[in-house]
Structure 1
Amino acid sequence: MRILFKLLLVLLTTGLFTACQSQNSEVTHSDTALWPDIEKTAKPWTRWWWMGSAVDKSNIKEHLVAFEKAGLGGVEITPIYGAKGEEEQFLEFLSPEYLELLDYTITTADSLGLGVDMVLGTGWPYGGPQVEREFAATKLVVQKYELAQGKAFDQELKPDPKERQPASLNAVLAYDTAGNFKDLTKEVRDGKLSWTPEDASYTVYALFTGKTGQKVKRAAPGGAGYTLDHYSKEAFVDYIQPYDSAFAEIKGQLRAIFNDSYEVYGTDFTPKFFEQFEKLRGYDLKPHINLLLSDSDNDLGNRV
């Protein structure tokens, strides 16, 4: 009797296991049938450093074929500084020769089912020879003046002489000890403020639009220049003009452009900062600049 019971138990267990296997097999088959085709955007891509942009058609094709065989979905081209001893092979960024090889890269990659992205510049961060000082990376420069009640102030407003980069006056704001605020920007004539505080003593903040002076790091040949003011739409529109013209000359189409690295040091301002702040935040920041720039720890200042 025990032997019969054990035999029935074995048969029952085996049957259940077989049934589970069958069900799992059906689910797996169903999932496989529903699984989408693997597109290039679902595959890993690789960063492709173009050292000195010293590339040629033979090597471009050889590498792209190897990338495709390795199972990659595409490449991210970043032109960068070149290797010593290879200067004769360097190509000027966005030159006709460079664009010809970029176009060849795109069309060859497309024939292999690969995508091509490219950084909108060389090295990092965004910047280059087309960036005029007006549109270069910007910082806030502050100069403070203490004005006694009833005492006339008649002085040219200048940033600290330690500032190596030129700076233009953006706003002149005054605050008394009670927190009352006056915008004196319109009182300035030819860079000079002539004003007498009649009702109280004031601390005057002269706010300047300064420049960081930063230039593109690890720029490729033809890509050196000032770093872009990343906070300014006008600066960006001006920055992309050479690319609009250059890309119109090639037949192939990049899949996308990207920013390799946002390493813009010391930039915290842009010429239209106050206008955009009020538009986005719903209030004027100028009456609170003294709190924002204060070293003291207070609740309102922390929230500003």
Structure 2
Amino acid sequence: MDRRRFISESTLAAAGWLTVSPVRVLAASFERPGYPYRVNKLYDIFRDPASGYRPFVRWWWNGNKVEVTELIRELHLLKEAGIGGVEINPVAFPSRFDGDDLGIPSVRWLSEEWSRMLKVVFAEAKRLDMTCDLIVGSGWPFGAEDIAAEERSQIVVI
């Protein structure tokens, strides 16, 4: 038997054993009297998991250019896509050029308006049964315009 045939046949044999034998044993173990789950119930849980078991995504608020209606719309899109939660990363970019706001003014980090938007998003996420976290991410407050230069993130050159 040559090497190619040996690898091919052993791979097929292993794949067949792994997909058939353990599945039968596992399925039979779920059918025991007194066992709380049946195969169909486990499949239903897997097919439609609770919100806390669904994928989470990092939600970038680039330049803090956010509007309440758009944030709510995006949360609903994420929910409809099966997402269970978001991790908000508010990224504040220092302005280097005039007119770079893309038509959407940046909301100042930790301002009353920014905090109000955050509260609205948290409330809507709760209403949608989604988890909503807030993280310290790049640009917050490591380089924001309202942080004095000596208090910003620094580098060490060795």
TM-score, with structure 1 as normaliser? 0.33
Residue number in structure 1 paired with 2:124? 108
State the secondary structure of the residue aligned to 2:90: strand
Structure 2: which 5+ residue stretches go unaligned? 1-23, 32-36
Show CA shifts across 1:30-87 (max 9, x none): 1443658823231111111111211111101110000000000111111114592337
Decide which of 63, 66, 71 is 2:74's aligned counterpart.
63
Structure ranking higher in helix proportion: 2
Residue number in structure 1 paired with 2:105? 89
Residue number in structure 2 paired with 1:45? 56
Identical aligned pairs, as a percentage? 23
Question: Do the aligned partners of 2:85 and 2:131 also contact (CA within 8 Å) in 1?
Answer: yes
Residue number in structure 1 paired with 2:135? 119
TM-score, with structure 2 as normaliser? 0.59
Residue number in structure 2 paired with 1:30? 38
Question: Do the aligned partners of 1:109 and 1:115 also contact (CA within 8 Å) in 2?
Answer: yes
State the secondary structure of the residue aligned to 1:89: coil
Q: CA RMSD in A?
A: 3.5
State the secondary structure of the residue aligned to 2:132: strand
| Divergent runs of 4+, >6 A | none
1:221 offset after TM fit, Å? 5.6
Structure ranking higher in strand proportion: 1
Question: Do the aligned partners of 1:93 and 1:222 also contact (CA within 8 Å) in 2?
Answer: no
Question: Do the aligned partners of 1:57 and 1:104 also contact (CA within 8 Å) in 2?
Answer: yes
Structure of larger gyration radius? 1
1:96 offset after TM fit, Å? 0.3
Question: Do the aligned partners of 2:68 and 2:120 also contact (CA within 8 Å) in 1?
Answer: yes
Question: CA 1:222 to 1:66, structure 2 compared with 1: closer, same or farther past 3 Å?
Answer: farther
Residue number in structure 1 paired with 2:91? 80
